[in-house]
Amino acid sequence: MSVTPYKTLETRFARLGAVQDATAMLQWDSATLMPAGGAASRAEQLATLKVVCHEILTDPAMADLIAGAEAQNDLDQWQRANLAEMERLRLHATAVPADLVAALSKACSACEMRWREARPAGDFAAVLPELRHVLELVREVAAAKATRLGRSPYEALLDEYEPGGSTAAIDRLFDNLAAMLPGLIDRGLERQARRPAPLPLPGPFSVEAQRRVGMQLMERLGFDFKHGRLDVSLHPFCGGTPDDVRLTTRYDEADFGRALMGVLHETGHALYERGLPEAWRRQPVGNARGMSIHESQSLLVEMQACRSREFMEFAAPLLRKAFHGVGPAWEAENLYRLNTRVARSLIRVDADEVTYPAHVILRYRLERAMIAGELAPADLPAAWNEAMRSLIGIVPDSDRDGCLQDIHWYDGAWGYFPTYTLGAMTAAQLFDAAKRAEPRLLPGIAHGNFAPLLAWLREHVHQKGSRYSTAEIVTQATGRPLDAKTYERHLEARYVAD
Amino acid sequence: MSVTPYKTLETRFARLGAVQDATAMLQWDSATLMPAGGAASRAEQLATLKVVCHEILTDPAMADLIAGAEAQNDLDQWQRANLAEMERLRLHATAVPADLVAALSKACSACEMRWREARPAGDFAAVLPELRHVLELVREVAAAKATRLGRSPYEALLDEYEPGGSTAAIDRLFDNLAAMLPGLIDRGLERQARRPAPLPLPGPFSVEAQRRVGMQLMERLGFDFKHGRLDVSLHPFCGGTPDDVRLTTRYDEADFGRALMGVLHETGHALYERGLPEAWRRQPVGNARGMSIHESQSLLVEMQACRSREFMEFAAPLLRKAFHGVGPAWEAENLYRLNTRVARSLIRVDADEVTYPAHVILRYRLERAMIAGELAPADLPAAWNEAMRSLIGIVPDSDRDGCLQDIHWYDGAWGYFPTYTLGAMTAAQLFDAAKRAEPRLLPGIAHGNFAPLLAWLREHVHQKGSRYSTAEIVTQATGRPLDAKTYERHLEARYVAD
């Protein structure tokens, strides 16, 4: 009995998936436990595994195998979707000549290294030559991918993070939001000023107590410690594999809220990974759909579910017990207010739920302009500050707190930024649909029962893997395409309504 | 400019080395941190990386490349040695047909699983069919490798752990030792009985204090925590890579000595890995020479250096401080006696320095007889007990404490056992040579100065990687081939002399 082209492809992609899983574990180790002296040797390991993956995807036989599988008439819908994902991955891998890939990788390393010095010094000029070089090569990559994928250059970059993402759709959503955000921020701050300030929580909070309560909440949300861990890293992330999800956080003994909300955020990512369709492990169709859906899962858990009044009602007694808290500062309403404060801020990663999308829209517009060749890197600081003024109403004194703050562009991650706010919009629309479908959902959260929420997410998002497009998943789950309205209503209700 | 065959081989083996390094890190993670639910997915990762390695070694082009490189006249001695190691690895990988490799791997998994139930029950009959099957396939592998390597079947198995190892040489060393061991054990026990028993150390000893003092001693011995870690696993081992050495131990709050001596033992392995020639990282010639040299390094540190009176003089105040110890039990001489007690014991891993080689000789003789087809697995328990009676003077009540105690045979590791005692002999001979060459060595240990010892080992053992054979390394370092005499003298002096 001969093996069909499709079966051959499944075998090859299973190998790719296993090597990618191995890579994910080693990256987790690099960020959490690896001693500094192991870095060079680890870089060799990761680079080698990357080459192994690249060779699988660029094997000259692959195109024929995919064409052969496409001609098979015995494939079901999951297999067809798997095949489409295989072809998408192959196109990305083969679109760019190897020497351009190598040149970009080298340019990014050099630029990132320079950025690490330039940022604390606020010295944009010091990194400008390297940034120019990165942008030049990224534009070459974008042009090469655009031709192969039949998309615009920016969309070709975006496609790596947000498969099928379209700038027309993003522009519509973001323009809408950008028009209402400055007013929303103003009104949110006015309301906040009219009310008494929330009471601060007196620390310190021991790392061990923070870790314990974090794990307790993770478990309540549905995280299974037989299939994952919580550790510490400088930059919190969710790594590992669907069967062994590795969350990280970092602790500040003066403020437990940051680590805790970070843990809840990463738990959203983790539940998604863990809930991906088990029958399709290590196949492209079994992977997470893209970064906007991924971010929707973390933001749904953190922002929609866990910064709600209902969650605070459930969490308040737990937190009092964990940190021996007494007095009115530990009441649910005060905790809710502490966790929904608004402030005009310069730094994206410190921003609250209301100002965050403004930070993202700014970056999206600027990176599109740079990819289009309409904005030169030399003009970035001025353009940045102007956009900050109009969207958030403040301007940084130094590029350190402006266009030098994020690693993305300096490290070659162009086309990533919009997924944060697409994720936030998606989270709002999914949570709204889940609440309508499951009347027990919000009351359940108030009692620490997250099962209805998780069951809904499993069925409508997690289990779908990459079987459908992002747009299809949102439409199937919520009954309509993604729009900004539910998100805007959520922000209005939480931050502006009296 | 064309790339020479040798350069092409270096590139291919660098890839092999990096994938093997990645494998080592994942194995370490499996044993230390991985949640139980990650096991199946990890098994896929490891199996896939193993296939990637196997394909590198069995690529049909490899034989021609090696022949081409052998014909090059521009290679230096290190490159020639590297080439010889490449060919050895290729022969091992290609000697055995793929279906036999797969069948053995499956048989070992099944047998090991059965053994895990049979061992606690002491039920040898329950695992006998699986053991028979493993042995049958191991003998096929041995026959296939024997033909390709031009060695006897047992030596072909041994070669994987002890490259170039010869049964004639091992027989000579072990027969010599076996003849004197029973008498040595008797006299050691007599001397011990004549003297007052050492004072026990009153516990408990907190895990944190044990960990701290273990790390302190590791550092004094020369372990560099910028290039390694100490963690916990069920079975202590030294894993990772030369640039990121991962030691493990396990703690018993009632007895700190076991974890501590285990840590010192693994530190010997770690110093060897770390000291391998940096210029040859991820090349075969840069690897550790073999298991007997590896074990010699752990036993040299643990048995020769760290169970010496000199070490106890240095360690006693440290241990008193770490565990708040007071009184005569914490004197160096008492610690020395506690760490050099002799007992006839049934279990190899619990055995003392004097009885340990008897356990190994027993296993070596029995596994050779089984590979030769002279001992049937069904007759193993009787043969085991008879050998125990004659070599150690006690017989187990149950096979649990007899032929079921070690995982090796059930898991397919045949030809491994002799390296433990070859390592012990090599350790004695190397330590003796080092002391002669460095008069400051023993006095240095008494003051916690291990630099002269480490410098000698770096120069005479570690830095040689696989540039020379095991026999050449021993002869160059000590002025003569390995013999049992120095080892026997060491045991006599420590355990019998008055």
DSSP letter for each residue of B211-265: HHHHHHHHHHHT--GGGEEEEE-SS--EEEETTEEEEEE---TT-HHHHHHHHHH
Find the CB nearest A244 among B14, B38, B240. B38
Taking 90 as the threshold, does the pLDDT of residue B348 lie above it?
Answer: yes
Q: For a pLDDT cut of 70, what percent of chain B falls above it?
A: 100
What is the rounded CA–CA span in Å between residue A429 and residue A439?
A: 16
Chain A residues whose beta carbon lies within 8 Å of the beta carbon of residue B14: 44, 48
Chain A residues whose beta carbon lies within 8 Å of the beta carbon of residue B33: 229
Residue contact B229–A47, C-beta within 8 A: no
Indicate left, alpha or beta for A465 from its phi (over 0: left) and psi (-120 to 50: alpha): left
Instruction: Pick the residue from chain B with its C-alpha nearest to A278.
Output: B41
What is the rounded CA–CA span in Å between residue A404 and residue A400?
A: 5
Q: What's the mean pLDDT in B228-248? A: 96
Chain A residues whose beta carbon lies within 8 Å of the beta carbon of residue B240: 38
Q: What's the mean pLDDT in B69-90? A: 98
Taking 70 as the threshold, does the pLDDT of residue A78 lie above it?
Answer: yes
Chain A residues whose beta carbon lies within 8 Å of the beta carbon of residue B228: 35, 37
Chain B residues whose beta carbon lies within 8 Å of the beta carbon of residue A274: none
Chain B residues whose beta carbon lies within 8 Å of the beta carbon of residue A19: 45, 48-49, 52
Q: With bands split at pLDDT 50, 70 and 90, how would you rate the model's confidence at A2? A: confident
Chain A residues whose beta carbon lies within 8 Å of the beta carbon of residue B37: 224, 226-228, 243-244
What is the rounded CA–CA span in Å between residue A207 and residue A200?
A: 19
Active-site residue, selected from the candidate residues B85, B87, B130, B266: B266
pLDDT at A53: 96
Q: Give the pLDDT confidence of B146-191 residue by residue, as tens digits.
A: 999 999 999 999 999 999 999 999 999 999 999 999 999 999 999 9
Residue contact A25–B26, C-beta within 8 A: yes
Chain A residues whose beta carbon lies within 8 Å of the beta carbon of residue B15: 48, 51-52
Work out the minimum CA distance from B241 to partner chain A, whole angstroms: 8
Work out the minimum CA distance from A18 to partner chain B, whole angstroms: 5
Chain B residues whose beta carbon lies within 8 Å of the beta carbon of residue A48: 14-15, 18-19, 22
Find the CB nearest B229 among A21, A35, A49. A35
Active-site residue, selected from the candidate residues A155, A160, A162, A266: A266
Asked whether A276 and A473 are in contact (CB, 8 A), the reply is no
Q: Among B281, B262, B277, B272, which residue's Cα sits nearest to residue B217?
A: B262
Find the CB nearest A226 among B36, B49, B244. B36
Q: Among B324, B458, B348, which residue's Cα sits nearest to residue B408?
A: B348
Residue contact A241–B48, C-beta within 8 A: no
Asked whether A214 and A250 are in contact (CB, 8 A), the reply is no
pLDDT at B498: 80
Q: Give the pLDDT confidence of A200-234 residue by residue, as tens digits.
A: 999 999 999 999 999 999 999 999 999 999 999 99
Find the CB nearest B229 among A22, A33, A282. A33
Q: Among B270, B278, B211, B217, which residue's Cα sits nearest to residue B239?
A: B270
Q: What is the dihedral of CA A43, A47, A53, A58, to 10 degrees?
A: 160
Asked whether B461 and B427 are in contact (CB, 8 A), the reply is no
pLDDT at A361: 98
- Using a CB–CB cut-off of 8 Å, the residues of A that contact B are 14-15, 18-19, 21-22, 25-26, 29, 33-38, 40-42, 44-45, 47-49, 51-52, 224-229, 240-244, 281-282
Q: With bands split at pLDDT 50, 70 and 90, how would you rate the model's confidence at A498? A: confident
Can A266 be counted among the known catalytic residues?
Answer: yes
Chain A residues whose beta carbon lies within 8 Å of the beta carbon of residue B48: 14-15, 18-19, 22
What is the rounded CA–CA span in Å between residue A290 and residue A276?
A: 12
Q: Give the pLDDT confidence of A232-285 residue by residue, as tens digits.
A: 999 999 999 999 999 999 999 999 999 999 999 999 999 999 999 999 999 999
- B450: tokens are 């291990």
Q: What's the mean pLDDT in B298-304? A: 98
Q: Give the pLDDT confidence of A85-115 residue by residue, as tens digits.
A: 999 999 999 999 989 998 999 999 999 999 9
Chain B residues whose beta carbon lies within 8 Å of the beta carbon of residue A51: 15
Q: How many CB pairs under 8 A join A and B?
A: 110
Give which of B15, B16, B243, B280 to mutate to test A binding, by max A Cβ within 10 Å.
B243
Work out the minimum CA distance from B98 to partner chain A, whole angstroms: 18
Work out the minimum CA distance from B492 to partner chain A, whole angstroms: 42
Work out the minimum CA distance from A209 to partner chain B, whole angstroms: 19
**Rounded to the nearest 5 degrees, what angle is found at the Cα of B254, between the Cα atoms of B252 and B259?**
35
Element (H, E) at A477: helix A470-478
Q: What's the mean pLDDT in A283-300? A: 98
pLDDT at A358: 97
Work out the minimum CA distance from B248 to partner chain A, whole angstroms: 14
Residue contact B33–A244, C-beta within 8 A: no
Q: Among A382, A410, A375, which residue's Cα sits nearest to residue A396?
A: A382
pLDDT at A172: 97
Find the CB nearest A41 among B35, B36, B244. B244
Give which of B10, B20, B44, B227 to mutate to test A binding, by max A Cβ within 10 Å.
B44
Work out the minimum CA distance from A183 to partner chain B, whole angstroms: 48
Is cis: bond before A196, omega within 30 of 0?
Answer: no
- DSSP secondary structure letter of residue B200: P
- Using a CB–CB cut-off of 8 Å, the residues of B that contact A are 14-15, 18-19, 21-22, 25-26, 29, 33-38, 40-42, 44-45, 47-49, 51-52, 224-229, 240-244, 281-282
Q: Give the pLDDT confidence of B13-46 residue by residue, as tens digits.
A: 999 999 999 999 999 999 999 999 999 999 999 9
Work out the minimum CA distance from A41 to partner chain B, whole angstroms: 7
Q: Give the pTM.
A: 0.95
Instruction: Pick the residue from chain B with its C-alpha nearest to A33.
Output: B229
Give which of B12, B16, B23, B48 to mutate to test A binding, by max A Cβ within 10 Å.
B48
The residue type of B324 is H
pLDDT at B363: 98
Q: What's the mean pLDDT in A282-307? A: 98
pLDDT at B308: 97
Residue contact A45–B15, C-beta within 8 A: no
Q: Among B227, B217, B222, B287, which residue's Cα sits nearest to residue B257?
A: B217
Q: Give the pLDDT confidence of B367-397 residue by residue, as tens digits.
A: 999 999 999 999 999 999 999 999 999 999 9
Q: With bands split at pLDDT 50, 70 and 90, how would you rate the model's confidence at A1? A: low
Q: For a pLDDT cut of 90, what percent of chain A falls above it?
A: 98
Query: Chain-wide mean pLDDT for chain B?
Result: 96
Q: Which residue has the tokens 């396939």?
A: B137
Find the CB nearest A29 among B25, B226, B243. B25
Chain B residues whose beta carbon lies within 8 Å of the beta carbon of residue A25: 26, 29, 42, 45
Residue contact B18–A229, C-beta within 8 A: no
Query: Chain-wide mean pLDDT for chain A?
Result: 96
Instruction: Pick the residue from chain B with its C-alpha nearest to A49.
Output: B19
pLDDT at B2: 82
Q: What is the DSSP string of A285-315?
A: GGS---HHHHHHHHHIIIIIITTSHHHHHHH
Work out the minimum CA distance from B336 to partner chain A, whole angstroms: 34
